[in-house]
Amino acid sequence: MKKVLLGLVVSLGTSTTLYADQATDWGYEANNAPEKWASLSEKYHACSGLNQSPIDIKNTTSAKLEPLKFNYAATAKSIVNNGHTVQVDFNAGNTLTLDGQEFVLKQFHLHSPSENKINGVSYPMEMHLVHANAQGELAVVAVMYQKGQLNQSLAQIWSNLPKQAGQSFMFTGNLDAASFLPKKLDYYRFNGSLTTPPCTEGVRWIVLKDIQSASEAQFDEFNKLLAHPNNRPVQPVNARIVLE
């Protein structure tokens, strides 16, 4: 497999609300665990909101959902281990048309085990493709992974995983975001939030129904890298409606 590393980037400049940055005042264990996020800082108060993500997707409402229109043409720019997840940032040029608006793919990152559940089922891993429109509104497309055959698209990332928190590598190869999308694009839709602090609400959530496969070895390598689960537990649905 062609090596796609250019060099080590020491400083990170991508800490915005789009990203789970390297903040150490929140985490997934002990005193910084998800159930304590809202009390850790005033800027994390939204973590106690009524429309939080992830959720257990069940009791859905049938609807005529518009087909998802992906136009993914640009390649990956860099990959970072930020201590909370592994994140791949993309060059401009990948878009999702939703609600008559264009959302640009900014990055995708991984959670293990999955954050959202489907009818009570948790999956070994979940990918979040994070998009933003011109107004800064977010749309997250989630892809679930179950145990099966080696995933060739993920293998391109796995061969370049930054081993230490804070490490970032530039991609020089052609890692295509479209290769991570399932062939079938049926989906669930609901309103929610970021699943990491500051837990900002108003996020359009799209969870794809077509479950992808990855090998047990791939799951093991990712879990070993972080050394702990990085999923926020499901949150109350409250008065929200989940469409499919």
Amino acid, res. 74? A
Would you say 104 and 98 are in contact if contact means Cβ atoms under 8 Å apart? no
DSSP characters over 24-66: SS--SSGGGSGGGHHHH-GGGGGGGSSS-S--EE-S-B---PP
Rounded to whole angstroms, the Cα distance separating 175 from 14 reads: 20
Residue type, 77: K
**Mind giving me the DSSP string for 118-160?**
ETTB--SEEEEEEEE-TT--EEEEEEEEEE-S--HHHHHHHTT
At 47, is the secondary structure helix, strand, or coil? helix
Q: Tell me, what amino acid is at 231?
A: N
Q: Are 94 and 77 in contact (CB under 8 A)?
A: no
Residues noted as catalytic: 84
